[in-house]
Amino acid sequence: MSVVPTSFACERAREQVSLSLDGELSELERRLLDAHLARCGACQAFAQEVVAFTEALRAAPLEAVREPIVVERRRRLPLGRVQVAAAAALAFLAVGLAGQLSASSEQRPALSRFDDSPNLSPPASVLEREQAILSVVRPGTTLPPPGSVL
């Protein structure tokens, strides 16, 4: 198989070639794959190679295993110890967090950092003017002429 940069459509088609061999494509997906293979020579060559390899592999006789395959089970930690350790860690974290929160609340009130900040709200006259503009200007209406009160 060659290593050639492919587009997204080609990548999807190449994935679908394998699914097609296993009979896992819907009729629509199968027709889309056939249409792509009809116009893309690189994907058509890829599909022919994959089909030939798969057929050869499926036609080959089964080989007997010379040594048994053993999958060892992973050792499990006793669940009780893990639960106790997790509970102790959470209790330690809760006590530490409570201590930090109580220490920080004693030092200064929560909103004290905003006391010296300038007031950035617009004056009441500006707010009234904006409300007047919003009451007159609606989507689809023309704007008042320049120089009007609004």
Q: Domain segments of the chain: what residues?
A: 8-59
Q: What is the pLDDT of residues 7-59, one digit of tens each?
A: 888 999 999 999 999 899 999 999 999 999 999 999 999 999 999 999 999 99
Question: pLDDT tens across 81-116, in order?
Answer: 778 888 888 888 888 888 777 766 555 555 555 666
pLDDT (0 to 100) of residue 77: 62
CA dihedral sign, ordered 101, 103, 106, 112: negative
Band of residue 137 on the pLDDT scale cut at 50, 70, 90: low
Q: Is the pTM of this model over 0.95?
A: no
Rounded to whole angstroms, the Cα distance separating 32 from 126 reads 61
**pLDDT score at 62:** 87
- Predicted pLDDT at 112: 56
Q: Please, what is the angle between helix 8-21 and helix 41-59, to 10°?
A: 20
Classify residue 15 as exposed, middle or buried by CB count within 10 Å of its CB (0-12, 13-18, 19+): exposed
